[in-house]
Amino acid sequence: MLLNAARAQLAEFGIVVALGPRNTLNALQRLKEDEAMAGLPELLRSTLQVFAAQLESLGQGIRALERKLIAWHRADETSQRLETIPGVGVLTATALAASIENPAAFRSGRDLAAFLGLVPRQNSTGGKPRLGSISRKGNGYLRHLLVVGATSVVRRAARNDTASGPWLRALLARKPARLVTVAVANKTARIVWALMARGGTYQAHFRV
């Protein structure tokens, strides 16, 4: 919100800033040096300087949290093993390891995927069961992380010859990318359960 406000204020005076927090912060830090910035009204300059200080403080806080997160990840064996799964980075691995303390609470990976809302909602029409959109039940944050990771896996497979590339490209030829992404997120959840329940690290062609 601060970024958008700062960029909008600068744009009103003909100063266009590229998207991205770093670009905006760099522009704000040039308030005293850049001639174009020097021509801004004093009240606006003061306001933007406050924005710059808040953004810098926020950035420092985020970097401190990231360092703590990485330290926790390096000290947690489960989190490190989960990071070996395609589409699972440090943020997702730590969130999963911290949130799922007892994988034995789920009978299978399918149960974990269902708990996270990564299974189709079942409807009935004329006595026949039909599959709808995902149920979106359970921990929405974990589901979001898995879907974001699955999105990167699908995009990478569409461009490169990865181990899962042929399977995913064949699926993309038949199904919308959104459905394929959810299918990958579902598979990732099942692999997560397998690694947490049985141990080991991810291997290509992992069976769940």
Domain boundaries, the chain: 2-72, 77-198
pTM confidence score: 0.77
* Locus of tokens 């709808």: 132
Torsion of CA 196, 198, 199, 204, to 10 degrees: -90
What whole-number distance in Å separates Cα of residue 196 and Cα of residue 182? 21
pLDDT tens-digit profile, the chain (208 residues) = 778 888 888 888 888 888 888 888 888 877 767 766 777 888 888 888 888 888 889 889 999 999 999 999 999 999 999 999 999 999 999 999 999 999 999 999 999 999 999 986 544 444 443 434 555 667 899 999 999 999 999 988 877 766 677 778 888 889 888 999 999 999 999 999 999 999 999 987 655 5
